[in-house]
Amino acid sequence: MKILKHHWILLMITSCIYSSSLLAQVPDPCFGPDPTTHPILYISIPNCPDYNMDFDGALIGLTNYEPVTNGIAGEWTIEGSSTASAAFAPDINNPPNLLDAGSSASILVASTGVLTITNEVTDFNVSPNPIGTCTQSYTIECFESDIAENPPLTTVCPTKVLLLLDESGSIESSGATASVESAVTALINELARGEAEMAIIEFESKARPVMIGASTAFQLVDAAFLANVNSYLTGASSLANLSTGNSNPQDPNSYTPGEDVDAFIGATNWEDALQEATALGGADIIIVLTDGNPTFYNDPIAGATGEGNTLDMTALVRARDAANSLKMGGSHLFFIGLGDVLTQPLIESSGNQAYVTGASTTTFSTADYFNLDQGCASVTSCMTEIANHIINNQICCAPNQVNIVPNQTTIRNE
């Protein structure tokens, strides 16, 4: 574990300017993240102490969080007086530096220091078009690794297993939905051999507990639980369809990966999933199954903010901190990477002990992460192996038995 050294002295300026006669008509032109709650944004460049090549493509995301129905667009400029060197990265949603409501801008930052950005907003629903401006400043710092020790998996019966299940748009676009569903079913089938309780939290831009049967709490893993999970995995969404034609992934009653950029749906928010795990509490092992790097994190204004499509280092820091809190609370975190997820973000959030297919239960109990694309005959077989290790690690005791014989009483644990 590394103790953070020092921070830049924070210079934070927020100013909003618009005509008082138009005040009631103009949406708030400020943007996310809110610098009063997220004054520091993180980057990792070669001269940073904990630089890693996995972080080369990371971008900073700024969110124009106003609802699409407000009909606004922001024109973003980076102040020349900023200490940090920054430019708007190529972004189909941001040409040229014009951002519709409900989208995010990609910022490529090349140095630490103070970054000052102005958003000038036009409301196209009103004529003449009123304009508001908002200037916000952030301190840009190097990402520094700070990995808390992952407690070994040691459980009595029943083992409480919490599954954090990625439902982002990349699951659907890569064609991995069926593989994920098969893997979840395999996990539950194997856990049913022992004594386990399980709950599921799904996540994309935001996270939510999954309603299995009539409950989001930990439930006994048995045939009834498996049947209810199968209904969740294969059932249609009860919410309205997205504009893309996909069922809404934010329905907690159905596993339906998808995305809608304008509605902040379909990115990858590890932080929110881990915070939901904290709220539920009590898990012996938390399995995070994800195919994406952290691209979104929580903001009081935007709700969820970040780059959206590419690794956002601030999102990784927020996820890492939430993961550290869970580990220090006694839960063993086990991240499972699927598809294009980078290795280093998994390590930063779980630990550096990789699991290798075919290893012993003892080895699994101290492992932190596993990349399913390395050495797996299939996702299903590897998830079966993982569940088998969980069951083999259990310490189960039968109820005390009292044997009555003449003139003595013997109590025996079996």
Q: Which residues on adjacent β-strands are paired with residue 17?
A: 133
At 5 the pLDDT is 30
Does residue 5 form part of some domain? no
In this model, does residue 139 exceed pLDDT 90?
yes
Mean pLDDT check: name the lowest of 6-10, 96-100, 105-109.
Answer: 6-10
Determine the average pLDDT of the residues in 282-303: 91
Domain final position from 93, 116, 142 = 142
Does residue 194 form part of some domain? yes
Cβ pair 251, 238 in contact under 8 A: yes
The answer to whether residues 63 and 125 belong to one domain is yes
The answer to whether residues 79 and 175 belong to one domain is no
Give 127's Cβ-side CA count (13 Å radius).
Answer: 0
The answer to whether residues 249 and 215 belong to one domain is yes
Mean pLDDT check: name the lowest of 25-34, 43-52, 221-230.
Answer: 25-34
The answer to whether residues 181 and 217 belong to one domain is yes
Amino acid letter, 357: T
264: left (phi over 0), alpha (psi -120 to 50) or beta: left
In this model, does residue 56 exceed pLDDT 80?
yes
Determine the average pLDDT of the residues in 60-87: 84
282: left (phi over 0), alpha (psi -120 to 50) or beta: left
At 187 the pLDDT is 96
Contact residues for 153 (Cβ-Cβ < 8 A; gap 6+): 284, 285, 332, 334, 364, 365, 366, 390, 393
**Residues composing the chain:** 414
Q: Which domain does 95 fall in, by range?
A: 14-142
Does residue 353 form part of some domain? yes
The answer to whether residues 359 and 243 belong to one domain is yes
Domain final position from 90, 109, 142 = 142
The answer to whether residues 133 and 170 belong to one domain is no
d(CA 132, CA 182): 50
Residue 7 pLDDT level (bands cut at 50, 70, 90): very low
The answer to whether residues 163 and 223 belong to one domain is yes
CATH of the domain at 138: 2.60.40.1080
Residue at token pair 């050294």: 5
Does residue 365 form part of some domain? yes
Q: Which residues on adjacent β-strands are paired with residue 410?
A: 403
Does residue 149 form part of some domain? no
The answer to whether residues 263 and 344 belong to one domain is yes
Does residue 407 form part of some domain? no
In this model, does residue 227 exceed pLDDT 90?
yes
Does residue 352 form part of some domain? yes
314-348: pLDDT as tens digits: 999 999 999 999 999 999 999 999 888 899 999 99
Q: Tell me how many degrees the CA angle 316-121-205 measures, rounded to the nearest 5.
A: 30
The answer to whether residues 64 and 128 belong to one domain is yes
CATH of the domain at 368: 3.40.50.410
387 to each of 75, 88, 272, 356, 375, how far by Cα in Å?
51, 45, 25, 14, 17
Q: How many domains does the chain have?
A: 2
159-186: pLDDT as tens digits: 999 999 999 888 888 888 888 899 999 9
The answer to whether residues 122 and 203 belong to one domain is no
Residue 246 pLDDT level (bands cut at 50, 70, 90): low
Residue 21 pLDDT level (bands cut at 50, 70, 90): very low
d(CA 395, CA 159): 9
Determine the average pLDDT of the residues in 188-216: 95
Domain final position from 142, 174, 192 = 142
The answer to whether residues 134 and 240 belong to one domain is no
The answer to whether residues 194 and 290 belong to one domain is yes
Does residue 287 form part of some domain? yes
Q: Higher-confidence residue: 217 or 102?
A: 217
d(CA 282, CA 262): 36
Determine the average pLDDT of the residues in 226-250: 75
At 348 the pLDDT is 98
d(CA 266, CA 286): 22
